[in-house]
Amino acid sequence: MTTKQYRADLPAWIFIGGLCSFPWLIVWADAGHGIHLTGVLVAGIVSGYSLAWLGSFKIVITPTELVFRSLFRGKRSIKHNEIKIVRLEWKFWRARKGPLRLVVEPKEPTDARKLDINAKVFSRAAIDAVLELGSRVAKADDGGLREGIVLKSWRSWKQSREK
């Protein structure tokens, strides 16, 4: 097995890039009254921070371990033989985390080694690769979310109407 690397997907870059343009739009709209250094500085910091946050996301699957890196959590890894289960889960009510998560639980229940990956910024290929790794070395549960949350919700609604 070769090493596979995954970074944030193009739609995430387009979305965050669009959000990063709003402070610049405000600076441009206010330029008729003169360009203020404070506005330019705030726009630069917000844009730079947002793009650095998105650029920090990385999943690396090596022959022996799974590595996840992000801006706030740093680099965390787990060896393949230590994986108990890989789950894809959706919880919309999370306060500080994204709703779509890839959770890699170790065999030994130590919270420091559990990988909690923000899946919404990665491509379907990256999510499938991590789930496939989980099914190959331990157990994997996609929670019916591989096709997306909308299809899962539609299926659940349809089944409830048929009963």
- The domain ranges of the chain are 80-162
Gap between the Cα atoms of 105 and 84, Å rounded:
6
Q: Are 156 and 100 in contact (CB under 8 A)?
A: no
The predicted pLDDT at position 118 comes to 87
Mean pLDDT within 99-125: 83
Q: How far apart are CA 137 and CA 62, in angstroms?
A: 13
Query: What does the alpha-carbon distance between residue 42 and residue 61 come to, in Å, rounded to a whole number?
Result: 37
Beta strands in 16-151 (DSSP E): 58-61, 65-70, 74-79, 83-90, 100-106, 115-118, 140-141
Q: Is the pLDDT of residue 146 over 80?
A: no
Q: Cα Rg for the chain, rounded, in angstroms?
A: 20
Lowest mean per-residue pLDDT among 9-18, 125-134, 136-145 = 136-145
**How confident is the model at residue 39, as a pLDDT?**
86
Give the pTM. 0.77
Q: Which of 139, 148, 119 is nearest to 6 (CA)?
A: 119
pLDDT band for position 110 (cuts 50, 70, 90): low
